[in-house]
Structure 1
């Protein structure tokens, strides 16, 4: 196995294990990866966001997002609002009940980061972040090209 293949496999494995570790810690809160990552994404948005925009940010299809939002709405963590311009468009908003849940998610994420990264040298983390950003930029560039190729 060459270095690039080893890197790609390790990156995927680490990503899955990291997500699993947070999922294990959040299981007691009744939150799956899909639910907690959706809440985090919503908390990072400035203002309200449409379901279509949220689906794109999360990388999921519309029907998948609808089921996810139904579950979050049932828990009282989000609400859907109709727009005056187009009643088919729904805006998503966090409810006040979501704040303590978000605080818990962020606390657990901080604890997991500290457990995993706490004793690593800052310069190593900076170098790794540089590489990951470069890879991410290349992936975004290739995704943009393949999306536009068919249009």
Structure 2
């Protein structure tokens, strides 16, 4: 049930599980957005690129996205949400942009210790020197 992610299609010509289509780990659009974020957070622009020019370079590829005249960190966060959908970066982005502790969907818990995952009990049994992350005792 639910929606199917058609961002990266299956290889319909393959007769085995060895698909002839790669799923990218890092995309050029992600690199552009990372650089734009770094500039917005205080890094020195290089090669004449600004955060605005980098975001507009990405938006120019899409025919439905008009160029922006200004960009803020919140705008950049929303652009990452659109561009990186289904690519498992959203949780990291929410933490980095300070949105993770907010309420959304069914989530109402705002405890900051949830930024870290608990260490599995099986790992602690194998290595007793591991200490459980705070909040999960």
Q: TM-score, normalised by structure 2?
A: 0.30
TM-score (normalised: structure 1): 0.28
Q: From the two aligned structures, give the one with the greater strand fraction.
A: 1
Q: Higher Cα Rg: structure 1 or 2?
A: 2
